[in-house]
């Protein structure tokens, strides 16, 4: 009798659990044939829908980067990393510069409308910028040095006015033109509602979760909790107008379950619970070669994706000995890069034989922007232990006390190489760097702090990096409308040294006036031959001074697809024109892929 009472209580508890976590909604199970599942983009609960803020952790909907994510909020133009061009989205036709390159003008499509069915006008574009400036949002603060104003010339014409230097020229026309493909247009009327709610307070405005936000894109939030986020198509989306896509995107729902780690995400991809995977799937080729699953990548063979960013080891130039270029270069040339690419990246990176190191990513467009032959004598293939030893011997950095480790000015060369804990591919890479040190008489140990600690230390450029951060890994820019200039800037420019929170680059504290001058000049140059010369010189400086060194190439996004339910995903040479890049059909021009999908079993 007692046991049955317990059983009843137990059942009631379980029932209570079901009810307590269950808001009442109409739909219970998403129809598989109407839902496209993702992984690798959303790694924690969505915390908001505010396009002015960077703190929403709403990765599927809000990411204003080089290839802005445009499923919910839209930019005037879409960047295509494959051809380096921008294509109109909200904009009507290409933009134009005035003669002095100080003002950029574009028109908006008359068909463009907001989700509340009001027209999207130039006043929205201008008010978006004004709000960014007024409340010092990340977008405002990041662009205010380069953009003087965004004005509505008439209802459908927008002019972006560049900030001018003392000579009356635009400080940086590259950033001005990038603004129109990297930043969302947000509705003026909704912004005014938000401002009223925040009562003029910037922190309150950025902290607003904005669940009532008005948007112009094809999808919006449908359901989200701690374990998933689901977006539903807006069947009144303006983009089905003939002046844009002419139809709606194919999947009715976009869904992203939140996985604890890559292993859980890979398991879901294998079982067909995920259609598009933007995460690192180790030995991805085994999924089709060994397991025979209907899974594929953008390229059929290694490196399986288009390399775009350069995971890089930075030297802390304040550490003893690392201010000496011989020590830096010796470590860099001793590292076994093929092992890193084979093990850490499971061959999902081009090798440095295929793409010699420079400041460029492996895309043909960027590779053509410097003279590879002119810097060939400065290149290194890695694993050059004897060369590294000779370099150190020549610089007088030898083992003077016979303990097996080299000394400089009587002090041993002892370093910690570090990267965030749990970033397994980076950890594997940093272990190879440490192993290289042991072979050339430099004592390198490894350490893996949690990301929360790591990021606050590395990005605090107004103080020297503390001990334990002598060699450390961070990323570099991928592909975008300001590349390769922006990447070069972030790898070499001294302008970031001393920032309270430096999320740009050059974390080791490198400073070179010659490099700074070239970086400052490039955005104003339009002559291609001159640009190539300047980039080549910057690569020469980089390979000579070695303030940091690339360890591998990495795709902008991983793009692995399971074709159990959906097919006709973008792949290399699929015949689409312009080509759809491997960016999970959410970023920049890649969203065109959502309009091409087909069901395997309609």
Map the footprint of other proteins across residues 473-502, applying CB under 8 A.
495-496, 498-502
23 sits near other proteins (criterion: CB under 8 A): yes
* Helix (H), strand (E) at residue 18: helix 2-20
- HSE, side-chain direction, 13 A CA sphere, residue 336: 16
- Can you say how many angstroms the Cα of residue 242 is from the centroid of all Cα atoms in its chain? 32
Q: Which is nearer to other proteins, 100 or 450 (CB)?
A: 450
Size of the site for other proteins (CB under 8 A): 80
Q: Kindly state the DSSP code that residue 375 receives in the 8-state scheme.
A: G
For other proteins, which stretch binds (CB under 8 A), given 23-31, 161-169, 401-409, 563-571? Answer: 23-31
Contact between 79 and 181 under an 8 Å Cβ cutoff? The reply is: yes
Q: Which stretch binds other proteins (CB under 8 A): 9-17, 153-161, 310-318, 350-358?
A: 9-17
Judged by CB under 8 A, does residue 467 bind other proteins? no
With CB under 8 A as the contact rule, the residue among 130, 148, 198, 207 that binds other proteins is 207
225-264: which residues touch other proteins (CB under 8 A)? 225-228, 230, 255, 257, 259-260, 264
| Range in contact with other proteins (rule: CB under 8 A) among 12-20, 242-250, 323-331, 402-410 | 12-20
CB 494 within 8 A of CB 506: yes
Cβ 28 to other proteins, closest distance in Å? 5
As measured in angstroms, the least distance from the Cβ of 269 to other proteins is 12
Residue from 71, 116, 109 nearest 93 by CA: 109
* Contacts (CB under 8 A) with other proteins, residues 286-305: none
Question: Least distance to other proteins from the beta carbon of 233, Å?
Answer: 16
Binding-site member from 130, 148, 244, 268 for other proteins (CB under 8 A): 268
Contact 214, 188 (CB under 8 A): no
By CB under 8 A, the residues from 129 to 148 that bind other proteins are 136, 138, 140-142, 144-145
Which residue, 208 or 425, is less far from other proteins as judged by CB? 208
Strand partners of residue 230: 223, 255
Is residue 484 within 8 A of residue 361, CB to CB? The reply is: yes
Rounded least distance, CB 370 to other proteins, Å: 23
Listed ranges 5-13, 192-200, 388-396, 511-519: which one lies at the site for other proteins (CB under 8 A): 5-13
Q: What span, in angstroms and rounded, lies between the C-alpha atoms of 171 and 145?
A: 8
Helix axis angle, 325-334 relative to 528-545, nearest 10°?
90
Candidate residues 25, 242, 290, 373; the one interacting with other proteins per rule CB under 8 A = 25
Cβ proximity to other proteins: between 124 and 477 the closer is: 477
Interface segment toward other proteins; rule CB under 8 A; list 48-56, 70-78, 331-339, 385-393:
48-56
With a CB cutoff of 8 Å and minimum separation 6, the contacts of 150 are 125, 126, 128, 129, 130, 158, 159, 160, 161
* 3-state SS class at 110: coil
State how far the Cα of 409 lies from the Cα of 412, in Å rounded to an integer: 8
Work out whether 47 is an interface residue with other proteins (CB under 8 A): yes
From 1, 4, 29, 411, residue interacting with other proteins (rule: CB under 8 A): 29
Nearer to other proteins, 203 or 529 (CB): 203
Shortest distance in whole angstroms from residue 465 CB to other proteins = 14
Residue 96 is given by DSSP the state: E
Is residue 1 a contact point for other proteins (CB under 8 A)?
no
Contacts of 233 (CB under 8 A, 6+ apart): 218, 219, 248, 249, 251, 252, 253
Q: Which is nearer to other proteins, 29 or 411 (CB)?
A: 29
Q: Give the DSSP H/E element, type plus range, for residue 180.
A: helix 173-182
Adjacency order of strands within the sheet including 253-257 = 219-224, 228-233, 253-257, 35-39, 276-277, 560-562, 295-297
Nearest alpha carbon to residue 310 among 505, 86, 551: 551
Nearest approach in angstroms of CB 221 to other proteins is 12
| Paired tokens of 226 | 């701690």
Interacting positions 54-73 with other proteins (CB under 8 A):
54-55, 57, 65
Applying CB under 8 A, among 8, 14, 164, 517 the residue interacting with other proteins is 14
Residues in region 430-449 near other proteins by CB under 8 A: 449
- Helical pair 528-545 and 513-521, crossing angle rounded to 10 deg: 150
Token pair, residue 245, equals 């896509």
Residue (315 or 496) nearer to other proteins, CB: 496
Say whether residue 597 binds other proteins (CB under 8 A). no
| Per-residue CA distances from 483 to 273, 308, 490, 552 (Å) | 36, 10, 11, 18
455 binds other proteins (CB under 8 A): yes
Residue 451 binds to other proteins (criterion: CB under 8 A): yes
Is 368 a binding residue for other proteins by CB under 8 A? The answer is: no
Which residue from 111, 189, 198, 202 is in contact with other proteins, where contact means CB under 8 A? 202
Q: How far is the CB of 263 from other proteins (least distance, A)?
A: 10
Taking the C-alpha atoms of residue 241 and residue 213, their distance in angstroms, rounded to an integer, is 23
Could you give the 3-state DSSP secondary structure of residue 20?
Answer: helix
- 73 closest CA partner among 98, 96, 56: 56
Residue numbers 526-585 binding other proteins by CB under 8 A = none
């Amino acid at each position: 009798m007692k046991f049955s009472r317990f059983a009843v209580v137990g059942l009631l508890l379980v029932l209570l659990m079901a009810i307590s976590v269950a808001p009442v909604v109409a739909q219970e199970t998403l129809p598989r044939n109407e839902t496209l599942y993702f992984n690798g983009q959303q790694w924690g609960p969505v915390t908001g829908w505010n396009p002015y803020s960077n703190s929403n952790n709403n990765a599927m909907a809000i990411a204003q980067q080089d290839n802005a994510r445009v499923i919910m909020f839209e930019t005037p133009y879409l960047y295509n990393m494959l051809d380096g061009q921008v294509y109109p989205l909200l904009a009507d036709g290409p933009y134009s510069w005035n003669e002095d390159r100080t003002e950029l003008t574009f028109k908006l499509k008359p068909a463009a409308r907001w989700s509340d069915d009001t027209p999207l006008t130039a006043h929205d574009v201008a008010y978006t910028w004004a709000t960014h400036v007024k409340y010092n949002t990340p977008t405002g603060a990041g662009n205010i040095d380069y953009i003087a104003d965004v004005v509505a010339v008439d209802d459908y014409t927008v002019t972006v006015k560049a900030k001018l230097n003392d000579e009356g020229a635009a400080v940086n026309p590259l950033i001005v033109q990038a603004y129109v493909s990297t930043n969302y247009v947000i509705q003026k009327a909704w912004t005014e509602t938000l401002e009223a709610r925040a009562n003029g307070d910037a922190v309150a405005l950025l902290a607003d979760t904005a669940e009532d936000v008005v948007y112009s894109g094809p999808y919006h939030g449908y359901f989200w909790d701690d374990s998933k986020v689901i977006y539903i198509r807006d069947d009144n989306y303006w983009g089905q107008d003939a002046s844009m896509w002419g139809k709606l995107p194919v999947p009715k729902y976009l869904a992203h379950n939140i996985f604890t780690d890559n292993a859980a995400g890979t398991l879901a991809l294998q079982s067909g619970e995920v259609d598009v995977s933007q995460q690192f799937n180790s030995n991805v080729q085994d999924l089709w070669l060994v397991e025979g699953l209907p899974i594929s990548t953008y390229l059929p063979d290694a490196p399986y994706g288009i390399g775009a960013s350069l995971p890089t080891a930075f030297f802390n130039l304040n550490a003893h000995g690392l201010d000496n270029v011989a020590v830096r270069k010796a470590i860099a040339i001793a590292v076994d890069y093929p092992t890193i690419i084979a093990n850490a990246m499971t061959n999902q990176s081009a090798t440095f034989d295929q793409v010699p190191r420079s400041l460029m990513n492996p895309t043909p467009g960027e590779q053509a922007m410097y003279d590879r032959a002119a810097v060939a004598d400065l290149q290194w293939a890695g694993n050059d232990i004897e060369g590294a030893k000779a370099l150190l011997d020549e610089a007088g950095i030898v083992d003077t006390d016979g303990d097996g480790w080299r000394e400089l000015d009587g002090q041993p060369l002892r370093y910690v190489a570090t990267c965030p804990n749990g970033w397994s591919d980076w950890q594997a890479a940093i272990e190879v760097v440490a192993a290289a040190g042991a072979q050339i008489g430099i004592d390198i140990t490894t350490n893996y702090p949690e990301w929360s600690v790591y990021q606050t230390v590395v990005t605090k450029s107004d103080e020297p990096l503390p001990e334990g951060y002598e060699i450390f890994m961070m990323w570099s820019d991928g592909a975008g409308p300001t590349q390769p200039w922006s990447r070069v800037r972030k790898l070499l420019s001294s302008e970031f040294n001393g920032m309270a929170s430096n999320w740009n680059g050059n974390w080791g504290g490198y400073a070179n006036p010659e490099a700074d001058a070239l970086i400052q000049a490039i955005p104003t140059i339009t002559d291609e031959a001159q640009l190539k010369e300047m980039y080549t010189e910057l690569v020469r400086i980089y390979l000579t001074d070695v303030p940091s060194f690339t360890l591998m190439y990495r795709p902008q996004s991983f793009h692995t697809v399971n074709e159990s339910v959906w097919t006709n995903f973008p792949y290399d040479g699929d015949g689409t024109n312009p080509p759809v890049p491997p960016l999970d059909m959410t970023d920049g021009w890649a969203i065109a892929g959502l309009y091409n999908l087909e069901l395997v079993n309609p």
